Structure 1
């Protein structure tokens, strides 16, 4: 299995492909120096291959490189971050404004 992660826009998200087919994504909204991750999805046929972890790891790494703060609203991203505490320094808890920004 060959995978790659790319940043896409419209909508803003990091997509993961498996053998050239889009397998899933981590969707985000950039706002005021923060990157709000609010939805991660992997296609059913790609489940159980660890692709969600790969796309989130790449997305968090890119966020760090861009100097942004991670705001985890997506349950998967929240869970991933609890296992990867090396990113605590760029992670903040979501506020009511963050939820409002994504229409939640």
Structure 2
């Protein structure tokens, strides 16, 4: 991954796996953003990046891809994943997509 940049990767939505993926030109999976579709919202549950790709912007590129997909679909995002929540906090252009999860009584 040292010579690859996030721009060299291919990003896709894989609904059967409920995740967005980042793959190298050789089709190696280097990162995922997991999600669930609930109540008309895209609930982002976790982000994983392969160790060899960590620190190269893959997670941020995946977060941006997931958020851009939600915007294109016109659905709100519930960022349960701390990485994506922090990404949105650093990139105010996505703040309008965020729907807070319902608070549970108890």
**TM-score after normalising by structure 1:** 0.87
Q: C-alpha displacement at 1:96, in angstroms? A: 4.5
Residue 41 of structure 2, aligned match among 34, 37, 55: 34
Give the structure 1 partner of residue 86 of structure 2: 79
More strand by share: 1
Give the structure 2 partner of residue 22 of structure 1: 29
The aligned runs of 1:1-104 (5 Å cut-off) are 1=4, 2-19=8-25, 20-96=27-103
SS in 1 for 2:10: strand
Q: Which has the larger radius of gyration?
A: 2
Number of aligned pairs? 97
Moved over 2 A (4+): none
Task: Point out where structure 1 has 5 or more consecutive residues left out of the alignment.
Answer: 98-104
- Between the aligned partners of 1:22 and 1:57, the Cα distance in structure 2 is 17
RMSD: 1.3
